[in-house]
Chains A and B, each alone.
Chain A
Amino acid sequence: MRTYRYRSVDWRPGARLRQPVRDSRVATITTAAFHGPDQEPFDLEEKGGDVSYRVIERGTDLATLRSAHKSNAFDTAGIERDPNVALPLQRLEDLAAAGAIGDVSPVHFSFMGSISAPARLIQRSAPAIVRALETARADLVLLTPV
């Protein structure tokens, strides 16, 4: 990871959840590189990293997801056995049913991570995610890098 040139995006002044979590719609974004059975896997060979993303819809059977990660940098056994470890859609459903959160976003997002050339990620992918989150009327976002 020493070869990465870490970048930052100035997010100030920042946002704040104005209502209780129990009244809020939650979306998630992961870098577990999950893709559905009808979606293209991520491209492990793309120079600078694959900055595309996959939309994971609410109600997706997590058992059908596959992760493109093949790295030896981390153990993928956990997310393969229980995708909630990185994309907790069933946990969000549980929490919504229990009244701990208001609702589950209709869409969630999966990225590859390991992006060594993030310009396209910042300029294209991330703004597209923002638009999708706004359309989904998500109130807050939980991100789970792996």
Chain B
Amino acid sequence: MGLIQSVVERAGIPTVSISTLEPVSRKVRPPRVLVRDVHLGYPLGEPDDPDGQSAVILRALEMTREPVEVPWFVPVDEIGPPGLRRAPEPGFW
């Protein structure tokens, strides 16, 4: 999924993914990832929880407002303005 995300982002369409497997996402290195500590198969949380699902969606979508230069991982409960991510480490790609 991170590969598709990266291709879409490269084409100029901003993207964000919701990951329940942060270690895997960090290997694929897509641009923006909202990290959730939930069971596999439940990226938006519990079934039949419209309010909870909508809150996660909006938090993720807001991330696309931010320009990124390196993969940006945010725990779902992180708050506050993220700012521009700069300066990838040498040999990052």
Mark A residues whose CB is within 8 Å of B: 1, 6-17, 20-21, 24, 26, 29, 31, 73-79, 81-82, 84-86, 88, 90-92, 94-95, 100-101, 111, 113, 118, 121-122, 125-127, 129-130, 133-134, 138-146
Contact = CB atoms under 8 A, between A and B. Distances in A.
Contacts of B11: 15, 130, 133-134
Given A86-B44, A130-B8, 16 more contacts: A8-B29, A11-B5, A17-B14, A21-B62, A24-B61, A26-B61, A78-B39, A88-B53, A121-B4, A122-B3, A126-B3, A127-B7, A140-B14, A140-B15, A145-B1, A146-B41
B64 to A, nearest CB: 4
B79 interface: no
Contact of B7 (A9, A17, A76): A9
A116 B90 CA distance: 27
B45 A7 contact: no
B1 A95 contact: no
Interface residues of B, number: 52
B11 to A, nearest CB: 4
A14 B71 CA distance: 10
Interface of B: 1-21, 24, 27-31, 39-48, 50, 53-54, 57-58, 60-62, 64-69, 93
B2 to A, nearest CB: 8
